[in-house]
Amino acid sequence: MHPSPPSLTPFFSPKGIAVIGASNNPVKLGYGLARNLVQSNYQGMVHFVNPRGGSLLGRPLYASIAEVPDPLDLAIIIVPAAAVPEGLRQCGLRGLRAAIIASGGFRETGAEGAALEAECLEIAAEYGMRLLGPNCIGLLDTHLPLDATFLPPPGPLPGDVAFISHSGAICAAVIDWARGQGFGLSRLVSLGNQSDVNETDVLAAVAADPFTRVLTLYLEGVSDGRRFIAEAGRVARHKPVIALKVGRYASGQRAVASHTGALAGQESAFNAAFRRAGVIRADTSEEMFDWARALAWCPPPPGRDMAVLTNAGGPGVTAADALEANGLRLARLGEATLARLRALLPPAASLSNPIDMLASATPEQYASGLEILLTDAKVSGVLVILPPPPMHTAGAVAKALIPVIHNATKPVIIALMGERLIQEAVEHFRAARVPEYRFPERAASALAILAQRAEFLQREQAIPDRCCQVDTEAAQALLAGFASNPTGPASGILPPDVALCLMEAYQIPVPPSGLVHSPQEAVALAQRLGYPVALKIVSADISHKSDIGGVLLNLNGDESVTRGFTAVMQNARDAHPQAEIAGVHVQPMLLEGQDVIIGAVQDAQFGPLVMFGSGGIEVEGLKDVAFALAPLTREEASYLIDETWAGRKLRGYRNIPAGDREAVVAALLRLAQLAADFPQLAEIEINPLRVLPENGGVLALDVRARLDGD
């Protein structure tokens, strides 16, 4: 839309701001905005515009923005919707390049409002302006500082966590809740209707803030899937990005022709996209901010082996459960660690992780115990459990722990159990930026996210390689030929032979076979393919071929093939004298192996999506499948395999021999490349893909493909 979109800088570091619609009436949002701007100690110029004139908060009310003196680079418009386009035009004429439209009454109210919104967008384009909103509560930056929202004070405390939201109401609630929870925000952006600036646009601008250590997103969708992945992926390499994506169950039903299409809902696509970009997906708001604090404040753990330090057995067991439930392990402590702990603690203490120091544990024992655990190379991080110690205050324990935690290069998370008896400890930990949670379960979940983040950072950046040795031109020609064929079925389903040729073009192996017309040809081909072989009559007029003796299996020599050719031809002619017979198919007997499904669909939001899993006809019932974006990296292909039982089984299971996993990876990469190269392939699915025992390769036994109807 913008050939070269003007920068977002004026939104995040404006030199001068004008509020169009600033009001003297304290119940009006135009008053709230003016008040917040002034009270937030924003150091730039703040001007108010209202045609009624007069003054507000000791400043003049200009009749129009034309009169506002320089410097001025950001307007905030809070007038009735109908008056917004004219206000915006005045901003354009004044030379502004950025405006926040806080007013509501646009697309969210129906067709009339949508027309107004379109008008605003046209005006913005005309003057090269960027728009935030309309129908948003604005933005704020606690460090600049700047509060360009109309929310009642107090605003958030300064902090490390940025929040970008599609919902204004959630912004208001989060600001209030975060303050009560004692954690701060760095920047907050309410996106409103996103007539121009959307969630993807602001990502880099928000991440550029040196005070922001973690980005949190409340998303109702994304505007452009692939661009979001690219932007979020760039940001997530440097700062953690956590998203709460809502609207899971709102996705409509689409017409699909494959298992892959039926299973690839919007949520699978979002999960695949978030994984590709390194965005952490939270399921609830609390989880998002629980994780954000840990990610903002803790170093990454070197592994998944955690220690639990407690003064009571019960919460220790709960913590051990929660660690395991979150995919972490209880570290096995080294001998030196055990010896030091033994010297530190009473004989009745339990030294096998969780370490139960008993109710008598002193602040000094907590601190020394933690230090000992952190020194152990086998410990990746520590969960400290702190119910109010009967003999000491939790505050004293906190004070003793904090220096140890600040010196540590591994994460320490606190489960601070209780409420009133732990208030002093809560305040110490919050001031020291040590994450504390009321229950071991939430603490364990935060520790797991730290491990996940550390592993993401260790992973090579996901840059899919183009598969070499694929014949894109041949595939292009096949699809073009089919698309231009006016007799093709309306459903868009490709004929099986065309689908097989696509496989050949992308070097996904299919069972070798050939059509022969004489016993001599049959024998020659059988010799080339290798014995044993199967013969099958080929005729469009004969449907149940095996019932009439039209199929022979397991022929193991020239003589059998010669006799067999004659027999299937004769059987076919006897049973269907009128049938037109195209010849006889010769195929080597298929080797036994494991059958899986691989498929790809085009997602409306994120483009091609690849699926892997348990095949057969029960795919949709078993739901043993995983998704990733195409094209794939090798790491992603491995992930798809490891996520599913079908994939884990390829390592071998009971009397099922291991399959050729590498060949599956190759087939996944090639199918993904095919789907990425040809967006007109709405769905393509290999079911089953037979995986032969190790080094045996794979064979696409059945391929279905559908071209887009357009």
Of 305-334, binders to a second copy (CB under 8 A) are 311-315, 317-318, 320-322, 324-325
For residues 307 and 331, the answer to whether their CB atoms sit within 8 Å is: yes
Among 285, 375, 507, 566, binds a second copy (CB under 8 A): 285
Least Å distance between CB 351 and a second copy?
A: 13
Helix H or strand E segment including 520: helix 519-529
Total chain residues near a second copy (CB under 8 A) = 77
Identify which of residues 473 and 544 has a Cβ nearer to a second copy in the complex: 544
CA proximity to 186, closest of 222, 161, 215: 161
Residue 624, interface with a second copy (CB under 8 A)? yes
Four-residue CA torsion sign, 280, 283, 288, 294 = negative
Identify which of residues 219 and 526 has a Cβ nearer to a second copy in the complex: 219
Residues within window 483-512 making contact with a second copy, judged by CB under 8 A: none
What three-state secondary structure class fits 134?
coil
For residues 650-675, b (16+ Cβ closer than 10 Å) or e, as one string? beeeeeeeebbbebbbbbbbbbbbbb
Residue 525, interface with a second copy (CB under 8 A)? no
Helix H or strand E segment including 601: strand 594-603
Identify which of residues 421 and 474 has a Cβ nearer to a second copy in the complex: 421
Residue 655, interface with a second copy (CB under 8 A)? yes
Residues within window 243-272 making contact with a second copy, judged by CB under 8 A: 244, 246-250
Among 119, 224, 424, 441, binds a second copy (CB under 8 A): 441
Instruction: With contacts defined by CB under 8 A, name the span among 36-44, 123-131, 561-569, 612-620 that binds a second copy.
Output: 612-620
Instruction: With contacts defined by CB under 8 A, name the span among 56-64, 117-125, 634-642, 645-653 that binds a second copy.
Output: 645-653
Residue 425, interface with a second copy (CB under 8 A)? no
Among 622, 693, 694, 701, binds a second copy (CB under 8 A): 622
Four-residue CA torsion sign, 84, 87, 93, 96 = negative
Task: Return the residue matching tokens 């409340």.
Answer: 218
Burial label for 378, CB within 10 Å (0-12, 13-18, 19+), is middle
Phi then psi for residue 505, to 5 deg, are: -60, -35
Least Å distance between CB 632 and a second copy?
A: 24
Residues within window 83-122 making contact with a second copy, judged by CB under 8 A: 104, 108-110
For residues 682 and 607, the answer to whether their CB atoms sit within 8 Å is: no
Residues within window 161-180 making contact with a second copy, judged by CB under 8 A: 165-170, 172-173, 176-180
Residues within window 445-484 making contact with a second copy, judged by CB under 8 A: none
Residues within window 178-207 making contact with a second copy, judged by CB under 8 A: 178-181
Residues within window 374-413 making contact with a second copy, judged by CB under 8 A: 387-388, 390-391
For residues 273 and 233, the answer to whether their CB atoms sit within 8 Å is: no
Residues within window 344-363 making contact with a second copy, judged by CB under 8 A: 348, 359
Least Å distance between CB 313 and a second copy?
A: 7
CA proximity to 100, closest of 87, 111, 112: 87
Instruction: With contacts defined by CB under 8 A, name the span among 59-67, 73-81, 457-465, 610-618 that binds a second copy.
Output: 610-618
Least Å distance between CB 132 and a second copy?
A: 17
Residues contacting residue 216 through CB under 8 Å, at least 6 positions apart: 161, 162, 163, 164, 241, 242, 243, 244, 288, 289, 292
